[in-house]
Amino acid sequence: MRGRRLRKVIGESLEAYLYLLPAFAVLGVFTFYPVVRAFQISLYRWPVIGPKTFVGFGNYLKLIGDREFWMALRNTSYYVLGSVPLTLTLAILVAVLLNSRIRGRVMARVAFFIPYITPMVAATVVWRWIYDRDYGLLNYLLEILEKALRHLGLAVNLGPVDWLNQPGLAIPILIVIGVWQYVGYQAIILLAGLQNIDRQYYDAAKVDGANAWHLFRHITVPLLTPQIFFLLIISMIGAFQLFTQVFILFVGNPGPRDSAMTIVFYIYEKAFREFYMGVASAAAYILFGIIFLLTLIQFRLSRRWVFYGG
Amino acid sequence: MLQELKRSPLYLILFAVMAIMLLPFFWTVTTSFKTPQEAQSYPPTWIPKQLRWQNYIEAWNAAPFGRYFLNSLFVATATAIGGVITSVLAAYAFAKMNFIGKNVLFYLLVGTMMIPGQMLLVPNYLTIVKLRWYDTYQALIVPWVANVFGIFLLRQFFRTIPDELWDSAQIDGCSRFRFLWQFVVPLSKPALVTLFLFRFIGSWNAFLWVLIMTSREEMRTLPVGLYYFIGEAGTDYHLLTAAATFAMMPIIFLFLVAQRQFIQGVARTGLK
């Protein structure tokens, strides 16, 4: 009897492994193996052609002494700190707006979601032109604003701004693109959370004399914290990997005077332009380490503020 | 009526924000129909004075966009179909079968979600070169057919299918594999469509991977082709916007057709 059960378990296991094989074979070769392999490469001086020499943590030390790498860390952190809270705050406002009883909600949801599914490269080509100093839409809008203000008696000089060529503006204009692209996606996830909130909570609070701000602050936000937490993690991981927008906006360059050099751009440049695979892998591992640590911290902190049902 | 009127500030805000979100698209499409002079005129015009379809023909001929388009279509379709198949199989095992090491394998999958994809570029590039897949379609498709989010999504869906269905099918002598394709898959059609769409769009929009794994012009997909085109077209915005429009249109069209599936898919799982 026991033998038969064991045989059944083994039989079913073998069949299950067969079902898992295609997915795990691909994941094995292109995800699990490279995680280990990247670490190994990071310990070597690894030119594409020629002998590989073991250097221990030499590549990591080299990175610590590299001004450009620090610049990449700084720029990336700036982008993360700017785009993540801004996008999330706006997404909460949009979600609340979309959750109110108004007409045309379906259309609005579609409109907000389109930037998220649009090919990033095509979208960034468009932004490149919006930011153009001479023909760009943004400077034109600034000019209209300037004229309007002048009519009101305020003489201000707003432009034209050379958006794409000022080191101080590189990260801010990337943040704007990021907000535009992800605010709708985040709002949709938050909206799903909002729709799950039991109306009874609001009714009960209103009986107790709560105003709109109280309802938002003490019911909506706490009950939305699981979605907010999820988005915080996802968008942080995404923001740390900023690359394509930079690459397209500045046509293959890391912005004026490297002002938009990000960690992934640095990795790309080291690996595929200078062919230092070892240094690039070490940088990749540092990026992984940062993301891993911050995610861990977020999870720890989440116990204090994320509210999972009552 | 009075209710609606009271909400009019809300409509105003909503309308303004929507206009900002859609302005880049409006501007792209209108500029793609302007003459070169009008596209670079200042102040810019909101509506083109005449519709110049010529821009599309010129852009299409300035670079092999036809080829890029077919490459994108082929790679995205193959990736999406492959992704659905591997996910169906793996998700079924996780949802409905008992096997040794189930928890370990599942946590292994959860763990991969923390890994930034870009971290794996260097070793994956070396693997692709070693397999002699550099500059081939395999390189653009195979690494992307396994997808952890897809497995999670379908596993959740499969778990809602009652076990009694399998029990009675088994009594009728139905094999597990046949049961999966004849009963489970048809029942899960909405989830499969959602997954297919997400994988298709993800593949269509991919940039860095294609940039690294290919060098020949014939292998470029639309995003990479578009990138090289920026260098050639410079500030010929009437051509650039035409090219950007036909890189975006298939995806936006697909989205509009299936927007319900998309939005529900995202709302439910946060699928990327």
pLDDT in tens, B78-111: 999 999 999 999 999 999 999 999 999 999 998 8
**pLDDT score at B133:** 97
Contact (CB<8Å) A32/B40: no
Q: To which CATH superfamily is domain B63-269 assigned?
A: MetI-like (1.10.3720.10)
Cβ atoms within 10 Å of B119's Cβ, excluding its own: 26
Spatial contact of B219 and A104, defined as CB atoms under 8 Å apart? no
Domain assignment present for residue A236? The answer is yes
More confident residue, A101 or A227: A227
Average pLDDT estimate for B57-64 = 90
**pLDDT score at A71:** 96
For an interface test with A, the pick among B6, B7, B14 (most A C-beta atoms closer than 10 Å) comes out as B14
- Please give, rounded to a whole number of angstroms, the shortest distance from the CA of A88 to a CA of chain B: 15
- Number of residues written out for chain A: 310
**pLDDT score at B2:** 65
Contact (CB<8Å) B118/A284: yes
Residues of chain B with C-beta less than 8 angstroms from the C-beta of A137: 23, 27, 44
Contact (CB<8Å) B255/A117: yes
Average pLDDT estimate for A154-165 = 85
Both tokens of A34, joined, read 């490279």
Q: Say whether pLDDT at B50 is over 60.
A: yes
**pLDDT score at B4:** 67
Highest mean pLDDT: which of A68-72, A122-126, B21-25, B187-191?
A: A68-72
**Cα separation of B129 and B263, whole Å?**
38
In which domain, by residue range, is A118 found?
Answer: 66-305
Among A170-179, B7-16, B59-68, B200-209, name the one with the lowest average pLDDT: B7-16
Domain assignment present for residue A258? The answer is yes
Domain assignment present for residue A33? The answer is no
- For residue B3, give the amino acid letter: Q
**pLDDT score at B271:** 46
More confident residue, A21 or B42: A21
In this structure, is the dihedral angle defined by the CA atoms of residues A85, A88, A91 and A97, taken in order, positive or negative?
A: negative
Q: pLDDT category, B269, cuts 50, 70, 90?
A: low
Residues of chain A with C-beta less than 8 angstroms from the C-beta of B258: none
Average pLDDT estimate for B59-83 = 94
**Cα separation of B149 and B172, whole Å?**
34
Q: Say whether pLDDT at A40 is over 50.
A: yes
Residue in B237, B244, B263 nearest the CB of A122? B244
Q: Say whether pLDDT at A161 is over 50.
A: yes
Percent of chain A with pLDDT over 90: 63
Question: Cβ-count burial of B269 within 10 angstroms (0-12 exposed, 13-18 middle, 19+ buried)?
Answer: buried
Short-list B93, B74, B81, CA closest to B220: B74
More confident residue, A57 or A215: A57
Domain assignment present for residue A36? The answer is no
Residues of chain B with C-beta less than 8 angstroms from the C-beta of A104: 14
Residues of chain B with C-beta less than 8 angstroms from the C-beta of A291: 114, 116
Among A253-262, B138-147, B168-177, name the one with the lowest average pLDDT: B168-177
Neighbouring C-alpha atoms within 13 Å toward the C-beta of B43: 10
Question: Cβ-count burial of A175 within 10 angstroms (0-12 exposed, 13-18 middle, 19+ buried)?
Answer: buried
- Please give, rounded to a whole number of angstroms, the shortest distance from the CA of B144 to a CA of chain A: 8
Domain assignment present for residue A44? The answer is no
Average pLDDT estimate for B41-69 = 88
Highest mean pLDDT: which of A127-131, A136-140, A241-245, B186-190?
A: A241-245
Region for residue A166 given its phi and psi (left: phi exceeds 0; alpha: psi -120 to 50; beta: otherwise): beta
- Number of residues written out for chain B: 272
Residues B173-209 as b or e (16 or more Cβ within 10 Å = b)? eeebeebbeeebbeebeebbebbbbbbbbbbbbbbbb
- Please give, rounded to a whole number of angstroms, the shortest distance from the CA of B149 to a CA of chain A: 12
Q: Say whether pLDDT at B254 is over 50.
A: yes
pLDDT tens-digit readout, A70-92:
999 999 999 999 999 999 999 99
For an interface test with B, the pick among A12, A20, A132 (most B C-beta atoms closer than 10 Å) comes out as A20
Contact (CB<8Å) A32/B112: yes
Residues of chain B with C-beta less than 8 angstroms from the C-beta of A247: 207-208, 227
Average pLDDT estimate for A44-68 = 93
Domain assignment present for residue A48? The answer is no
Q: Say whether pLDDT at A293 is over 50.
A: yes
Residues of chain B with C-beta less than 8 angstroms from the C-beta of A143: 43
Percent of chain B with pLDDT over 70: 97
CATH (domain of A258)? 1.10.3720.10
Residue in B126, B241, B267 nearest the CB of A192? B267
Residue labelled with tokens 């090219």: B243
Contact (CB<8Å) A23/B146: yes
Q: Say whether pLDDT at A203 is over 50.
A: yes
Average pLDDT estimate for B121-147 = 96
pTM of the predicted structure, to 2 decimals: 0.92
Average pLDDT estimate for A256-283 = 96
- Please give, rounded to a whole number of angstroms, the shortest distance from the CA of A34 to a CA of chain B: 5
Contact (CB<8Å) A264/B118: yes
A 53-72: CB under 8 A from B: none
DSSP string, chain A: -HHHHHHHHHHHHHHHHHHHHHHHHHHIIIIIHHHHHHHHHHTEE-BSSS--EE-TTHHHHHHHT-HHHHHHHHHHHHHHHHHHHHHHHHHHHHHHHHHSS-S-HHHHHHHHHHHHHS-HHHHHHHHHHHT-TTT-HHHHHHHHHHHHHHHTT---------GGG-GGGHHHHHHHHHHHHHHHHHHHHHHHHHHTS-HHHHHHHHHTT--HHHHIIIIIHHHHHHHHHHHHHHHHHHHHT--HHHHHHTTTS-SGGGTT--HHHHHHHHHHTS-BHHHHHHHHHHHHHHHHHHHHHHHHHHHHH-----
Contact (CB<8Å) B105/A20: yes
Residue in B100, B208, B223 nearest the CB of A243? B208
Spatial contact of A181 and A121, defined as CB atoms under 8 Å apart? no
Residue in B13, B108, B121 nearest the CB of A271? B121
Domain assignment present for residue A8? The answer is no
- Please give, rounded to a whole number of angstroms, the shortest distance from the CA of A284 to a CA of chain B: 5
Short-list A289, A288, A286, A239, CA closest to A66: A286
Q: Say whether pLDDT at B272 is over 50.
A: no
Partner B contacted by A208 (CB < 8 A): no
What are the sequence ranges of the domains in chain B? 63-269
In this structure, is the dihedral angle defined by the CA atoms of residues A183, A187, A188 and A190, taken in order, positive or negative?
A: positive
Contact (CB<8Å) A271/B125: yes
Number of structural domains found in chain A: 1
Average pLDDT estimate for A287-310 = 88
Percent of chain B with pLDDT over 90: 50
Q: Tell me the average pLDDT of chain A.
A: 91
Average pLDDT estimate for A88-104 = 88
Contact (CB<8Å) B223/A247: no
Percent of chain A with pLDDT over 70: 99
